[in-house]
Structure 1
Amino acid sequence: MTSASVPDFAHALIAPGPTPEYPGRMRRFGQLVGSWSTKSSRLDEESGQWSEREFTWIVQFILDGRAVQDVEVVASATHPSGFETVATAVRVYDPNAGAWRVSFFSPVLGEYCHLVATPHRNGLRQDGTGTDGRLIRWNFTSITAEAYTWEGWVSNDEGASWLLVARNQATRIH
C-alpha cells in the first residue's frame, strides 16, 4: 500500500453501516446510530442531590461494521472546536459469546468501565464493574426511532440491590 492509498484515521475507523455477517445482532446497538440531544440527571451519592446537564451523543458504526462507538460532547467556549469530547464507549459484538463487549472511557471524570451487554425486555442491559470496583448496570429502555431512555445503576451489595444514580432522556437530532 502506498502512502497515497492509506486512508486517514476517521476513514479507517468509521464504517458506512453494519456488517452483513450478523445483521440482527448489529441492529441492537445499531438502532442508536446517529446524533442525539440528551438531558442527563446524576445523583451525588454523598449529598443525595441530583444535578442536571445536557450533552450531544453521537453514535457510529466502526471496525468494518462489527462495532458501534459513541462520543459524548458538550459545548465549550474555551475549546478551539467549540466543543469538548467528554467520554466514549466502544461496543463490539462478540459472536463467540453471543453478547456485546463494552468499554467506556471518560478521562475527564476518571471513569473507566467494562461491561457485557445483552438484550433485556424491550431494550439493552449492560452489566459490569465501575472504576471503584462496584457492580454497575446500564439499561437502554424505551428505544424508538426518535428517543430513548438510559439508566445507570450501582450496587453496594454485590447485586442484591441496586441504586439509580443516572438517567438520560434523549431525542434524535439526525
Structure 2
Amino acid sequence: MHEGEGEIHADWVLAGRALQDVWILPGIFHGTTLRIPDAARHGWHIFWSDPLHHYYGRQLGRAVGPDIVQIGRDDTGQATRWSFSDRMPDSFTWRGETADDEAGPWQLVAEFHCRRAPA
C-alpha cells in the first residue's frame, strides 16, 4: 500500500442529477467518480475513472447501517468493494477491497483517512 497526502473535491454536477468527486493523490493516482442516484434501486450507480492508470470500474452503492458500501467490478472483471465508514461531519474512512467474486473473501488494497481541510 501507498502512503501519502492528497485532495478530494466533490460537488453536484449535471444540473444536480449526479455527484462528482475528484481524487488527487500526486504520485499515486488522479481519478474521478460520478455517482448517480437511482430511487428504484435505493442506491447509486457509481462510475470510477483513473485515466493515468487506465483503471475503470462500475459499482452500485447503498447504505449499509451507518456506512456506504459500493460493490461492483472493475474493467478486468475483478470484484470491488469500496466503503465509506466512520463518517463524521468533517471526516470519514474510505476502504477499497478486491476479491475474485462478490462473495469474497475480500482483501484490503487501499485505506484513506480523510478529513475536511480548514476553510
Name the TM-score, length of structure 1 as normaliser: 0.62
Q: Which residue number in structure 1 is paired with residue 63 of structure 2?
A: 119
The secondary structure found in structure 2 opposite 1:96 is helix
Cα distance in 2, alignment partners of residues 53 and 107 from structure 1: 20
Q: Which residue number in structure 2 is paired with residue 59 of structure 1?
A: 10
Q: CA RMSD in A?
A: 1.8
Q: Which portions of structure 1, spanning 4 or more consecutive aligned residues, are displaced by more than 3 angstroms?
A: none
Cα distance in 2, alignment partners of residues 106 and 68 from structure 1: 17
| Structure with more of its chain in strand, by fraction | 2
Name the TM-score, length of structure 2 as normaliser: 0.89
The secondary structure found in structure 1 opposite 2:87 is coil
- Could you give the per-residue CA deviations for residues 20-72 of structure 1, whole angstroms, max 9, x where no partner exists? xxxxxxxxxxxxxxxxxxxxxxxxxxxxxx32122100010112222110011
Gaps of 5+ in 2: none
Q: CA deviation at 1:106?
A: 0.3
The secondary structure found in structure 2 opposite 1:160 is coil
Q: CA deviation at 1:140?
A: 0.3
Q: Which residue number in structure 2 is paired with residue 167 of structure 1?
A: 111
- Number of equivalences: 117
2:16 pairs with 1:72? no
Larger radius of gyration: 1
Q: Which residue number in structure 2 is paired with residue 104 of structure 1?
A: 48
Cα distance in 2, alignment partners of residues 99 and 126 from structure 1: 9
Cα distance in 2, alignment partners of residues 73 and 166 from structure 1: 15
| Structure with more of its chain in helix, by fraction | 1
Gaps of 5+ in 1: 1-49, 77-84
